[in-house]
Amino acid sequence: MDSANYLWTTALRQALKRNRREAHSRYFQLATVDAVGKPCVRTVVYRGVDDDQQSPLFITDTRSAKMSYLDRQAVEACWYFPISREQFRIAGQAEVFASDHHQYLAVWQGLSDAARAQFFWPTPGERVANGEQAVNDVRDGGSTPPPNFAAVAIRPKRIDHLRLSNPQRRMLSELTESTPHSATAWTANEVNP
């Protein structure tokens, strides 16, 4: 890895391509902080990137506790690719798309019926009442997202890319300008693994 020519977005796309036969490579861990400062980690499904080609997208149910943690905005994703033996830690800000954002509907339309059905289930995290069960029921053909559907982008500020192959290499990339949608505003430095 040459820091002068390194671009983390290219490295991530290559890792996704090299690891595409591993279904679990579509999942990454997302860390947030709750109202009292307690860290909370969960696994989310990668749903592509936003128009800036650098902000990973995932979905969530607005009724879940995770939404109040996303309101604090600071998040970090940790993504490990077993075939290429590399890890990406993506620190940044969460941006929850409003229903009028074009990516909101695009992400919804890209979901399977099973993924859409989850948004019609009972409220996540609440005690099951009166035999209530999750039902795989996608209403109105699933063309319209329910009000509890949210698409979320991670607006990256700092990327820590570690390759565990021999020799091990590690690159830190940081956004150097206040324009998070500019791919040219990144600086990269190789550091000791």
pLDDT in tens, 10-60: 999 999 999 999 999 999 999 999 888 899 999 999 999 999 999 999 999
Mean pLDDT for the stretch of residues 129-134: 68
Whole-number average pLDDT of the chain: 88
pLDDT in tens, 72-125: 679 999 999 999 999 999 999 999 998 888 889 999 999 998 899 889 888 888
Mean pLDDT for the stretch of residues 156-162: 97
The dihedral of CA 78, 178, 67, 149: what is its sign? negative
User: Residue 159's pLDDT band (boundaries 50, 70, 90)?
Assistant: very high
pLDDT, residue 180, reads 56
- Quickly list DSSP for 102-123: HHHHHHHHTS-HHHHHGGGSSP
DSSP H or E segment with residue 28? strand 27-33
pLDDT, residue 172, reads 97
Torsion of CA 43, 17, 175, 67, to 10 degrees: -20
